[in-house]
Amino acid sequence: MSAHAETVLADDASREEDPVALAARLIRVPSVNPPRAERPNAEAQAIATVAERLAAHGIAHRILAENPARPNLVARVPGRGAAPPLLLYGHVDVVPAPEEAWSDDPFGGAVRDGMLWGRGALDMKGGLAMLVAATIAAARADEPPPGDVILACVSDEEAGGRLGAGFLARNHADLLAGVRHAIGEFGGFSLAVAGRTFYPVQVAEKRTATLNLAFSGRGGHTALLAGRSPAIRAAQAAAAIARHREPIRIEPAAGAMIAAMADALAPEKRVAAAALRGLLRPALAPLALKAGGPRLARVFEPLLRTTAQVTGLAAGGDAPNVVPDAARVRLSLRLLPQDDGAGLTARLARLAGDGAVIEGAFPPTGPAGFDDSQLPLMQALISEIDPGATVVPMLLPGSTDARHLAPLGIQSYGFLPMRLPSGLSFMELIHAADERVPVDALREGTRVLAGFLARYRG
């Protein structure tokens, strides 16, 4: 069931919306997913914050929800008909933030030392504020954008997006008719490799699945039973899977990313370029990963393999003197876009041993390729703020709401441009304690996005 609302209000708001102020307001709404019992409507409050700013600038919006406590917002800025509509989308929910791990209030939204601190500063209330501010800039510009700009602010991304982008794609695809390209997370941040600066832009992502390995057998009193009980078999399987590495596969987005980085490094950094090119040959890639050191492996190895991580091991109840008759290992899988899971299933069965039952299913494979038509415009815009930097396509080792849009024929680009200072790693701060982003990066990135909206031609 859907709830609908529409509003158009205007006041004497300035022509520009400050993304830092908006991001700070959003951070102060603890829209944790899953929702806290004491704040079940936090996502709705975050959506209301965006709605208030859009209304202040005279931009109409609609609220669409399967669950009214976890709604979504869609707004549209009319263009002049010179380009297809362009979608900007982002989520208001965040992962939990254990306060004891933080040096300050994770929901304080404080600005300190030139940084905005708080859960969601990077993932992705800072980025969402940039998208909202760029949309407002397009609406307030002297000339309408080339095509309509559609802004979608959604809930529930951190838990799979069923109530957010998934709901919009299933129930309101008509609002996205004609959209070929979309801007959202994950990418656009600066990344230093071998002395050169790159801006990876997500064009594809790995697929997520959860599997269980179920073990059963004889249980009973600990004084009378010994041997390979289900719990022991489960523990042995978990250890074997933790040591296992899936075969290396070079899929289009990862290959394009690595090749583009190697080409950019080749004139001056021949050794680094050669190491990257080694990753493009499956037989040599393990040696190249080892030779490149931990940092190179941390960045690139997840792009070359399907991975299976043990995230749960359960057996029996609370009685310490009972051998359980069942046990289960929970696995989080990140599959390469074209990995259908058939080979992985066979290898997991071998690692788990006789009698293990594999529970769960794999999602459909993703597109075989990607549309890189907007990367030249992104390169031109990045060159204006960071001369000498290189935009490269990226395969994301995680997953985003892009997977809900891909079946509609929409190519998503993870492009939230942020020029980060040396030593500040986007990848190491998301979902971590003391998440933060430079305030200058948010404002500069908003100007880049506004430039993209003004120059997009589809």
Residues noted as catalytic: 93, 158
- Number of CB atoms found within 10 A of residue 187's CB: 26
Q: Where are the beta strands (DSSP E) in 49-166?
A: 61-65, 72-77, 86-91, 111-112, 115-117, 149-154
Burial annotation 49-86 (CB, 10 A radius, 16+ → b, else e): bbbebbbbbebbbbbbbbbeebbbbbbbbebeeebbbb
Parallel, antiparallel, or unpaired for β 207-216 and 307-315?
Answer: unpaired
Q: How many CB atoms lie within 10 A of CB 396?
A: 22
CA–CA separation, 168 and 405 (whole Å): 9
Burial (CB < 10 A; 0-12, 13-18, 19+), residue 13, is middle
Residue type, 349: A
| Conformation bin of residue 71: beta by default, left when phi > 0, alpha when psi is -120 to 50 | beta
383: nearest Cα among 204, 187, 190: 190
Q: Which DSSP state fits 356?
A: -
Element (H, E) at 348: helix 342-352
Rounded Cα distance between 394 and 300, Å, is: 10
How many angstroms separate the CA atoms of 86 and 367, rounded? 20
- Residue bearing tokens 């919306």: 17
The CA distance from 393 to 113, in Å, is 32
What is the CB-side half-sphere exposure of residue 194 using CA atoms within 13 A? 21
C-alpha pair distances (Å), 416 with each of 9, 181, 298, 450: 28, 15, 22, 11
91, 157 contact by CB (below 8 A) = yes
Q: Work out the angle between the directed axes of helices 42-56 and 125-140 (0-180°, nearest 10).
A: 20
Amino acid at 403: R
Helix (H, G, I), strand (E, B) or coil at 336: coil
